[in-house]
């Protein structure tokens, strides 16, 4: 080291030395300055990387599966269990959460649980549509194996079509957007008509059906099949033929609906599952009746479908969030095939005997066996009543809880402890009923009865066949659909498209109060009205208003009538 | 070779370390090279050549001129040296000796030059003593004169009061003086220090500590990349020193600065240990985007965790509020907070130890309704929904009596929370130094507990900070700063917000059953009495922060005034978060069977562990060439500098669940099924060139120009670099000749500044379309397998760049009658344009666009700050009162709002954060009133009545209108009092805020209790004067009385005693016997009382349900020892 010191010390006064020193320091610093500003993202994939790589594109498609709203995810789902069921005459939501919607007080500024347009961007139809549009603007040039590519195109065509179908069913015609927007684009586009949108939906579904397989190998179960596409096509054409959208009652529309249902039936892939209750369980995922179901799995994808937590009665440590009205309990037939009100065998003081087996699979009522003890909604002191010792504030306000969808094997349900049942978007029973309805409207009442009775005679149900004709048959058809598909988010749309909403939705909701005499053990059943929750339906409520914020941003969007 | 091996081994175990070592070596090299290069040494007095041209000037002015032109400084006593004598000096390129000889020719003043320090003394002083003492009895006294930190003061004057007898202290501060027998008092004085008078009776030794003059004209303030005398500041800079910071018992420095600096707005929104960082705004809000100021600690920008630097280690905090911040360019628009830590000083090592022990209490705990009152409410809800009431009058009476064990009236807050908790702080530091090496080493430890009973929440910090400066030779100074700290937080596995929310449990249920078992709480076993404890598991977060900085400062010997300095800093923050969640058991009581029914809480069946490791590394290189020039009255100083920084963030996490045992909370023990891992890395960099030119004429006219050419990797090529200039001027009117007669004016300065600054606080790469791969796909297959799922990011914005703020400031500083009145006023305006915001107000959601930030908005922010101070020194008793008020009001000019929005609902034209409310007119009391008024659908008697803003005869969302009532205070004030009487001092800091509002959503239902005030004063049928309407029951704002209206908007104006400190310095003579230099005892407190109108929660609360860890009140006892 000494020689360095000496060397430097001798030259310490030399300007050259200092200059060299300075220059070397500056160059030292500048040598590490290279590329300091030229960073590329290391935590995300670039556009370029994604659309050249089939594996990444597939993950993009997989995410689209997840973004599709279900009964839990999507919309304004705060404290909602089964969204559309709560917005119609099926389920009462605790505390009257949706009272203002059910009373017709929905406004363009406040859509609440019916805001499927602006709320829940993580699970949202417009998000689905945008993802599909991004996909379609890139997929053509993507160097991906044709079979995989076609499957992905089919999947995405289906998703976009389904998202539009749902939006149109809620809002009427919406802007039909098929290309992704750029930042500098003009966002002000008008609404397309109902027919324009639905024709697009049908065309896309047809295209998707042509690309997708009927079945998948085990590892790919859960992907969209040809059957899933055709089942939605059946529903879409049925909606298009229905009185709300087919005021002229054009027969060709019914014919198209009938044909579409028949195509699914003729696939010969699906059959009614032998156990009505168990078909919704996770252990029976992808059963013979489920056409399109959405698997959930907390343990691998950290997603919740909290049926047990939200539906279990308070006495079983559930939230008991939604409560079936007495009104729908009254709609479950006696085993005689008659409604309780028409059946002399019905005893109002022993109301839960000899009912349609689907009643026991659907409703938890006082005395229903559940997890090793009967459900107790009676007072005083019923475990599942408001006087129960466990979370009494979560007790039913109608006297009932939901049995459908929940897995009895779960104890102490929580957000992490649940069965993870799939959500079934479409199942074979609906297709049969779709077909029956289309046939009825084409005048083929015999086929209509035949298909209704296929449902009624399903194993474990075995209800007497329907024999009515004419308008009475239509009533039975609608009734069958109400019972079979209860809580499955059909009712909200069905009562509108049938245009019976003004009748069935202008009702006085009822509840069951059961008082037990503690000394005699005798229970007294009294039906009371829930005056303050009376439904109000006016014509404007056929459609949901377009959110005001969207109209504020785009004056070309015309509001639905009445809002 | 051995050393190399060691390095290698270390690097192998910790890959990051190898990198650190490499970088350290690199830096060392730079310093070594420069060090060797400047081994030259010649005395400063010989090399410095001065030029003076003074005619009929006072000696004092001549000395001042020398000080201005050189680095010399003079030490003398005006009492001994006649500095008002007039002299004529005309020299060019002369040495200091020659000049001093000229000045003092013919006098007996002698001088001694030691480095840059020149001591002037007179032999006469001693002569006087000799002469006058001939015939008198004499007493010899000795002593030592030092400054506050114990550094000896040479050249201080010691004079017998009322005589000319005196002497000056020698170079070690020592003196020895023979007193005449009638001497009563000695006067100790020194330039820039407070004069002290001490009685001589009974004393022979005088160890005197002189204090800095508080008027502080010569106070030095840290500014961006340098310091400046406060008197020559041109920008709007406010600062606070260690003294004020140390008076606060808070362990969070950010909470101590409240009210001390005009223009600085703090809002302490939580009292949770370790998570109590306040929101800090400089001059309010300027942007709809990120408003957080840039924090610079010892030259390192964007420092995180600065809030936890021990206040004993902080020298000062300065805040740059105007164009003076432009030197920090694209990050400076929200103001800059500069923190300078303490360094070593000349003198023997001083060891200082301080200890603080505090008791903390929540400032305010909500008072909830009792069981009897709540049961009444439940009954009302039952009646309204057509059901039978649950509780009879008799039962309600039983609740009220509290005698029947079946009728419980539980105070959840009281049972779950402790009355108080504790907090302690230790700091031990050693500071000192010689001419060659100065050092400061400091270690701190703090310990904070929580207010949960049996709570597992605690927060500890450990830190070690070492700053060493070495003067290698006369041209080269190097510095090494090292600090490391650990923030160790231990929390219950449950988020405390949820736990506080759960305190609204209904009062009928106890926290613990009579047999001690915990009750089940409302949902998920959510009993806060358990949620706050370790039964939930444990969340441990450790943040290790390391920083190493080496710096050099080189004077280029052959060009006077030219120098080069620079530093290299490396910091590494490591975070380890270990979240161990365990299920717990709570019990429902079944009174029919008299059994306790167990229930699992925590939402899980088996324990699970999430562990994550984050590391962020940043490097900063800075090199600067500076030049100073003094020619006669002109002083120019300038520098140009380059800086480069690089930042790397990486993270790794792992998760396992279904632990079969609670015994070991490590990853290996979890189930192999469904385990998951993740990790990510990101990088960013900056490059800049910047500089400053300051020019002063006779310290009278001052001009300052600074600029930064700033480049950031956050932006696309071509949009990366921007130029940010700032200019400021000041005129010291008091230095003008025409003001000389107005001797009551000590200082009067006018200032003005204008500049352009930026804000780049946004996510990187928004110019690119990027896709995130997450755990978000579907689980396909018969035995489901997760797929990743690729999520599209924001739509690319190729034009993205930073926000631009144009800021203007005019101000005045004044000081009169030697500090009896001090006055500072500033008026400012900042126009922020190109505001980075998402255009979601204008872009329809059907576009599906995931919007990037775009440069769209314009906000204008205007306001003023006024500071008044009053200082008086009456010997034993001195005091200072300073008050400040800041006002800022911003206005959104443009945020690309939807075109169709009704004028009254627009955000444009209102402050940031202003939202639309319904305006409540009152409460409907009769059906007739409801029938006659425009109503919101579903309105019943007892609901709120709203204003029909659009006049359409009904109340709809269109009737909401934007109100300028935000939760950010527009006014903040501080009132600081300090009083010293002999050894006692008192410090009080009152702070407050005005023009701030907080919205509350107070819903109550069968399952949720609410504030007693709300339940008791709710609307009940028939009430004509209830304070509140029918209470909302839902969380959502959909019920008529629960709509977002100004009825529930509370004025959050408050004033509070933020800090109070009473301290006592023990007498020195007592301490010197036990070898203690100084000992201070003090009691202090924080948030001792609050005056406000909110009552429901602390006025600084920002949660509309008030479910949060409350702010703390502290009572603290402390001791400070100096050895």
Quote the tokens at residue B569: 């800093």
| Cα→Cα distances A468→A242, A429, A491, Å | 21, 20, 22
d(CA B990, CA B976): 6
- The whole-angstrom distance between B45's CA and the closest CA on chain A is 18
Task: Dump pLDDT digits (tens) for B1002-1011.
Answer: 999 988 999 9
Contact criterion met (CB < 8 Å) for A60 and B556: no
Half-sphere CA count of A533, side-chain side, radius 13 A: 27
Cβ contacts of A223 within 8 Å, gap of 6 or more = A65, A151, A155, A216, B780
How many pairs of residues across A and B have Cβ atoms under 8 Å apart?
322
Contact criterion met (CB < 8 Å) for A95 and B938: no
Which of A36, A44, A79 is nearest residue B646 as measured by Cβ atoms? A36
Contact criterion met (CB < 8 Å) for A59 and B789: yes
Tell me the torsion sign for CA atoms A444, A446, A451, A453. Answer: positive
DSSP state of A465: P
- The whole-angstrom distance between A473's CA and the closest CA on chain B is 38
Q: What residues of chain A lie within 8 A of the CB of B900, using their CB?
A: 551-553, 555
Q: What residues of chain A lie within 8 A of the CB of B843, using their CB?
A: 187, 553
d(CA B445, CA A375): 58
Closest CA to B696 of B48, B234, B221: B234
Radius of gyration of chain B (CA): 34
Q: What residues of chain A lie within 8 A of the CB of B779, using their CB?
A: 222, 295-297, 300-301
Phi, psi of B314 (to 5 degrees): -95, 130
Quote the tokens at residue A30: 């500048």
Pair A493, A242: CB distance under 8 Å: no
Contact criterion met (CB < 8 Å) for A95 and B1033: yes
Quote the tokens at residue A404: 């459908």
Cβ contacts of B852 within 8 Å, gap of 6 or more = A183, B766, B767, B794, B795, B796, B797, B800, B838
Quick one: how far is CA B799 from the chain centroid?
A: 35
Residue that has been written with the tokens 């659907």 in this structure:
A362
Residue of chain B with shortest Cα separation from A17: B37
Q: What residues of chain A lie within 8 A of the CB of B895, using their CB?
A: none
In this prediction, residue B53 carries a pLDDT of 79
Contact criterion met (CB < 8 Å) for B558 and A15: yes
Q: What residues of chain A lie within 8 A of the CB of B899, using their CB?
A: 552-553, 555
d(CA B1013, CA B1101): 18
- Max distance between CA atoms of chain B, in angstroms, equals 116
Contact criterion met (CB < 8 Å) for A414 and B600: yes
Residue of chain B with shortest Cα separation from A3: B36
Which of A295, A528, A553 is nearest residue B898 as measured by Cβ atoms? A553
Detail the DSSP E strand segments found in A320-366.
322-324, 363-364
| Cα→Cα distances B47→B37, B64, B70, B559, Å | 18, 20, 11, 11
Q: Is residue A509 classed as helix, strand or coil in its secondary structure?
A: coil
Q: What residues of chain B lie within 8 A of the CB of A510, using their CB?
A: none
Which of A21, A181, A223 is nearest residue B37 as measured by Cβ atoms? A21
Residue B678: how many CB atoms within 10 A of its CB? 12
Which of A47, A218, A393 is nearest residue B768 as measured by Cβ atoms? A47
Residue of chain B with shortest Cα separation from A128: B848
Quote the tokens at residue A261: 């249902």
Phi, psi of B47 (to 5 degrees): -85, -25
d(CA A293, CA B121): 98
In this prediction, residue B27 carries a pLDDT of 42
Closest CA to B866 of B300, B366, B263: B263
Pair B892, B857: CB distance under 8 Å: yes
- The whole-angstrom distance between B720's CA and the closest CA on chain A is 8
Q: Give me the residues of chain B with pLDDT under 70, please.
A: 1-46, 79, 114-115, 123-138, 149, 192, 212-218, 775
- The whole-angstrom distance between B1037's CA and the closest CA on chain A is 10
Q: Give me the residues of chain A with pLDDT under 50, please.
A: 1-2, 4-5, 74-79
- The whole-angstrom distance between A200's CA and the closest CA on chain B is 17
Query: CA triplet B809, B813, B817: central angle to 5 degrees?
Result: 170
Pair B1015, B1084: CB distance under 8 Å: no
Pair A237, A198: CB distance under 8 Å: no
How do B785-786 and B790-792 pair as beta strands?
Answer: unpaired
Which of B30, B720, B786 is nearest residue A301 as measured by Cβ atoms? B786
Residue of chain A with shortest Cα separation from B30: A25
Which of A37, A300, A532 is nearest residue B785 as measured by Cβ atoms? A300
Phi, psi of A107 (to 5 degrees): -130, 165
Beta bridge partners, B564, equal B554, B625
Quote the tokens at residue A462: 């075995």
pTM comes to: 0.83
Q: What residues of chain B lie within 8 A of the CB of A117, using their CB?
A: 845-846
Q: What residues of chain A lie within 8 A of the CB of B772, using their CB?
A: 43-45
Helical H segments across A32-87, by residue range: 47-50, 54-67, 83-86
- The pLDDT > 90 percentage for chain A reads 72
d(CA A474, CA A471): 5
Closest CA to B1086 of B275, B245, B256, B417: B256
- Residue A441: which H helix or E strand, with range? helix A428-441
- The whole-angstrom distance between B385's CA and the closest CA on chain A is 6
- The whole-angstrom distance between A485's CA and the closest CA on chain B is 25
- The whole-angstrom distance between A470's CA and the closest CA on chain B is 41
In this prediction, residue B19 carries a pLDDT of 45
Task: Dump pLDDT digits (tens) for B858-913.
Answer: 999 999 999 999 998 887 899 999 999 999 999 999 988 887 888 999 999 999 99
The DSSP annotation for B444-484 comes to: EEEEEE-SBTTB--EEEEEEEEEEEEEE-SSSEEEEEEEEE
Q: Is residue B617 classed as helix, strand or coil in its secondary structure?
A: strand
Q: Is residue A262 classed as helix, strand or coil in its secondary structure?
A: helix
Detail the DSSP E strand segments found in B838-914.
854-874, 877-894
Contact criterion met (CB < 8 Å) for B687 and A36: yes
| Cα→Cα distances B142→A58, A81, B162, B191, B594, Å | 90, 88, 19, 21, 86
Contact criterion met (CB < 8 Å) for B779 and A286: no
In this prediction, residue A30 carries a pLDDT of 59
Which of A97, A131, A553 is nearest residue B842 as measured by Cβ atoms? A553
Closest CA to B996 of B970, B962, B973, B974: B970
The DSSP annotation for A156-194 comes to: HHHHHHHHHHHHHHHHSS-----SPPPTTS----PPPPH
Contact criterion met (CB < 8 Å) for A29 and B901: no
Burial B404-418 (b: 16+ CB within 10 A, else e): eeebbbbbbbeebbb
Contact criterion met (CB < 8 Å) for A390 and B599: yes
């Amino acid at each position: 080291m000494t020689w360095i010191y000496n060397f430097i010390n001798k030259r310490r006064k030399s300007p050259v030395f200092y200059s060299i020193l300075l220059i070397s320091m500056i160059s030292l610093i500048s040598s590490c300055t290279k590329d300091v500003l030229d960073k590329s993202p290391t935590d995300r994939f670039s556009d370029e990387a994604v659309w050249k790589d089939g594996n990444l594109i597939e993950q993009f498609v997989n995410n689209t599966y997840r973004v599709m709203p279900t009964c839990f995810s999507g919309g304004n789902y705060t404290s909602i269990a089964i969204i559309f069921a709560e917005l119609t005459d099926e389920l009462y939501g605790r505390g009257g959460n949706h009272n203002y919607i059910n009373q017709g007080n929905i406004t363009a500024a406040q859509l609440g649980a019916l805001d499927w347009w602006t709320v829940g961007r993580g699970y949202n139809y417009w998000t689905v549509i945008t993802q599909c549009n991004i996909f379609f603007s890139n997929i053509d040039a993507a160097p991906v194996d044709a079979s995989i590519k076609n499957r992905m195109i089919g999947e995405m065509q289906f998703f976009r079509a389904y998202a539009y179908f749902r939006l149109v069913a809620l809002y009427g015609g919406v802007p039909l957007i098929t290309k992704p927007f750029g930042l500098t684009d003009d966002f002000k586009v008008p609404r397309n008509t109902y027919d324009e949108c639905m024709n697009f939906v049908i065309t896309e579904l047809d295209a998707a059906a042509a690309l997708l397989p009927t079945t998948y190998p085990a590892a790919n179960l859960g992907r969209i099949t040809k059957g899933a596409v055709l089942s939605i096509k059946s529903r879409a054409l049925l909606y298009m033929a229905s009185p709300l959208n087919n005021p002229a009652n054009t027969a060709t529309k019914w014919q198209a609906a009938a044909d579409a249902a028949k195509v699914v039936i003729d696939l010969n892939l699906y059959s009614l599952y032998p156990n009505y209750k168990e078909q919704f369980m996770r252990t029976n995922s992808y059963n013979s009746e489920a056409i399109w179901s959405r698997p959930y799995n907390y343990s691998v994808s950290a997603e919740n479908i909290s049926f047990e937590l939200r539906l279990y009665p308070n006495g079983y440590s559930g939230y008991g969030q939604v409560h079936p009205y007495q009104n729908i309990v009254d709609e479950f037939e006696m085993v005689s095939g008659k409604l309780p009100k028409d059946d002399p065998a019905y005893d109002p003081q022993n109301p839960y005997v000899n009912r349609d087996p689907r009643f026991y699979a659907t409703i938890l009522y006082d005395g229903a066996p559940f997890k090793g003890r009967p459900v107790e909604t009676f007072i005083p002191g019923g475990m599942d009543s408001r006087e129960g010792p466990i979370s009494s504030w979560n007790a039913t306000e109608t006297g009932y809880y939901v049995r459908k969808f929940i897995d009895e094997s779960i104890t102490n349900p929580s957000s992490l402890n649940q069965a993870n049942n799939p959500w079934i978007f479409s199942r074979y029973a609906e297709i049969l009923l779709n077909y029956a309805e289309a046939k009825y409207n084409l005048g083929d009442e015999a086929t209509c009865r035949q298909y209704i009775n296929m449902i009624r005679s399903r194993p474990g149900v075995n209800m007497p066949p329907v024999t009515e004709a004419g308008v009475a048959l239509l009533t039975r058809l609608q009734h069958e659909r109400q019972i079979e598909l209860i809580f499955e988010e059909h009712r909200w749309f069905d009562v509108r498209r049938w245009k019976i909403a003004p009748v069935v939705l202008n009702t006085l909701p009822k509840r069951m109060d059961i008082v037990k005499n503690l000394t005699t053990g005798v229970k007294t059943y009294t039906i009371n009205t829930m005056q303050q929750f009376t439904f109000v339906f006016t014509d404007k409520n056929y459609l949901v208003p377009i959110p005001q914020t969207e109209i504020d941003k785009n004056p070309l969007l015309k509001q639905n009538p009445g809002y | 070779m051995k050393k190399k091996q060691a390095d290698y081994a270390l690097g192998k175990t910790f890959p990051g370390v190898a990198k650190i070592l490499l970088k350290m070596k690199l830096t060392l090299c730079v310093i070594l090279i420069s060090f060797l290069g400047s081994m030259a040494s010649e005395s400063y007095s010989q090399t410095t050549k001065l030029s003076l041209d003074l005619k009929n000037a006072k000696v004092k002015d001549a000395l001042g001129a020398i000080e201005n032109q050189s680095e010399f400084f003079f030490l003398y006593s005006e009492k001994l040296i006649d500095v008002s004598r007039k002299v004529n000096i005309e020299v060019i390129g002369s040495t200091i000796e020659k000049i001093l000889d000229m000045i003092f020719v013919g006098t007996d003043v002698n001088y001694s030059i030691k480095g840059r320090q020149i001591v002037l003394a007179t032999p006469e002083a001693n002569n006087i003593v000799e002469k006058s003492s001939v015939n008198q009895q004499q007493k010899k006294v000795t002593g030592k004169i030092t400054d506050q930190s114990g550094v000896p003061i040479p050249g201080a004057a010691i004079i017998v009061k009322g005589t000319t007898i005196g002497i000056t202290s020698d170079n070690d501060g020592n003196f020895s003086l023979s007193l005449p027998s009638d001497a009563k008092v000695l006067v100790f004085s020194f330039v820039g220090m407070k004069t002290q008078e001490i009685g001589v009776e009974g004393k022979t030794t005088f160890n005197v500590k002189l204090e800095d003059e508080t008027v502080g004209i010569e106070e030095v303030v840290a500014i961006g990349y340098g310091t400046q005398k406060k008197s020559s500041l041109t920008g709007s800079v406010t600062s606070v020193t260690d003294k004020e910071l140390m008076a606060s018992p808070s362990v969070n420095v950010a909470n101590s600065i409240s009210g001390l600096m005009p223009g600085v707005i703090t809002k302490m929104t939580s009292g949770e240990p370790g998570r109590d960082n306040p929101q800090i705004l400089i001059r309010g809000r300027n942007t709809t985007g990120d408003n957080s100021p840039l924090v610079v600690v010892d030259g390192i920008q964007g420092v995180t965790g600065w809030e936890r630097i021990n206040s004993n280690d902080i020298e000062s905090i300065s805040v740059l509020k105007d164009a003076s911040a432009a030197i920090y360019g694209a990050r400076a628009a929200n103001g800059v907070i500069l923190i300078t830590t303490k360094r070593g000083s000349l003198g023997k090592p001083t060891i200082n130890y301080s200890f603080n022990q505090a008791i903390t209490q929540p400032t305010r705990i909500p008072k909830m309704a009792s069981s009897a009152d709540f049961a009444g409410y439940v009954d009302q809800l039952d009646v309204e929904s057509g059901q039978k009431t649950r509780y009879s009058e008799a039962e309600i009476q039983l609740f009220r009596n509290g005698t029947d064990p079946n009728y419980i009236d539980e105070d959840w807050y009281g049972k779950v929370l402790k009355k108080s908790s504790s907090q302690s702080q230790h700091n031990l530091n050693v500071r000192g130094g010689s001419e060659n090496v100065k050092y400061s080493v400091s270690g701190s430890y703090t310990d904070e507990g929580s207010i949960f009973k049996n709570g597992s929440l605690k927060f500890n910090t450990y830190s070690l900070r070492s700053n060493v400066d070495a003067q290698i030779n006369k041209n080269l100074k190097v510095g090494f700063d090292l600090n490391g700290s650990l923030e160790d937080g231990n929390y219950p596995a449950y988020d405390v917000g949820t736990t506080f929310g759960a305190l609204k449990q209904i009062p009928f249920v106890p926290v613990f059953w009579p047999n001690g078992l915990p009750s089940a709480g409302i949902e998920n076993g959510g009993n806060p009495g358990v949620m706050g404890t370790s039964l939930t598991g444990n969340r441990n977060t450790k943040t290790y922060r390391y920083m190493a900085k080496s710096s050099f400062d080189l004077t280029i010997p052959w060009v006077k005034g030219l120098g080069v300095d620079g530093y290299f800093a490396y910091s590494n923050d490591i975070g380890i978060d270990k979240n161990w969640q365990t299920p717990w058991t709570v019990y429902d009581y079944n009174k029919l069977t008299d059994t306790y029914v167990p229930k699992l809480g925590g939402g899980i069946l088996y324990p699970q562990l999430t562990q994550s490791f984050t590391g962020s590394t940043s490097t900063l290189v800075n090199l600067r060439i500076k030049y100073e020039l003094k020619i006669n009255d002109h002083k120019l100083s300038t520098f140009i500098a380059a800086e480069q920084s690089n930042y790397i963030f990486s993270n790794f996490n792992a998760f396992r669940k279904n632990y079969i045992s609670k015994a070991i909370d490590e990853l290996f023990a979890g189930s192999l099924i469904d385990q998951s891992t993740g990790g990510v890395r990101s990088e960013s960099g900056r490059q800049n060139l910047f500089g400053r030119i300051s020019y002063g004429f006779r310290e009278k006219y001052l001009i300052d120009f600074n600029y930064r050419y700033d480049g950031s990797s956050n932006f696309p090529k071509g949009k990366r670099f921007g130029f940010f200039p700032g200019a400021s001027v000041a005129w010291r009117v008091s230095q003008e000749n025409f003001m000389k007669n107005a001797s009551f004016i000590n200082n009067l300065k006018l200032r003005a500044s204008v500049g352009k600054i930026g804000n780049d606080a946004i996510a990187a790469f928004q110019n690119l379309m990027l896709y995130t791969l997450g755990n978000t796909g579907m689980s396909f297959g018969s035995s489901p397998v997760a797929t990743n799922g690729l999520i599209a990011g924001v739509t690319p914005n190729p034009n993205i760049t930073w926000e631009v703020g144009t800021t203007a400031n005019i101000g005045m500083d004044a000081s009169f009658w030697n500090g009896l009145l001090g006055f500072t006023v500033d008026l400012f305006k900042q126009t922020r344009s190109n505001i980075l915001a998402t255009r979601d107000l204008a872009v329809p959601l059907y576009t599906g666009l995931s919007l990037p930030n775009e440069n769209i908005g314009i906000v204008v922010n205007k306001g003023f700050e006024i500071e008044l101070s009053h200082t008086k020194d009456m010997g034993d008793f001195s005091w200072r009162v300073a008050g400040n008020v800041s006002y800022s009001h911003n206005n959104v000019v443009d945020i690309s709002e939807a075109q169709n929005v009704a004028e009254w609902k627009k955000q444009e034209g209102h402050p940031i954060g202003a939202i639309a409310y319904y305006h409540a007119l009152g409460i409907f009391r009769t059906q007739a009133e409801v029938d006659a008024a425009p109503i919101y659908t579903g309105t019943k008697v007892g609901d709120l009545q709203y204003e029909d803003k659009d006049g359409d005869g009904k109340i709809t969302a269109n009737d909401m209108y934007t109100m300028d009532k935000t939760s950010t205070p527009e006014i903040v004030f501080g009132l600081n009092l300090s009083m010293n009487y002999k050894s006692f001092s008192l410090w009080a800091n009152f702070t407050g805020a005005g023009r701030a509002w907080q919205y509350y959503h107070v819903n109550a239902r069968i399952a949720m209790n609410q504030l007693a005030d709300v339940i008791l004063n709710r609307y009940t049928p028939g009430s004509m004067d209830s304070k509140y309407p029918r209470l909302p029951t839902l969380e959502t704002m959909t019920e008529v009385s629960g709509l977002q209206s100004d009825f529930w908007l509370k004025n959050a104006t408050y004033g509070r005693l933020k800090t109070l400190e009473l301290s006592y310095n023990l007498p020195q003579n007592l301490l010197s016997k036990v070898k203690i230099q100084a000992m201070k005892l003090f009691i202090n407190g924080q948030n001792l009382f609050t005056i406000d109108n909110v009552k429901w929660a602390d006025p600084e609360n920002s949660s509309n349900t008030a479910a949060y860890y409350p702010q703390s009140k502290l009572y603290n006892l402390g001791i400070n020892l100096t050895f």
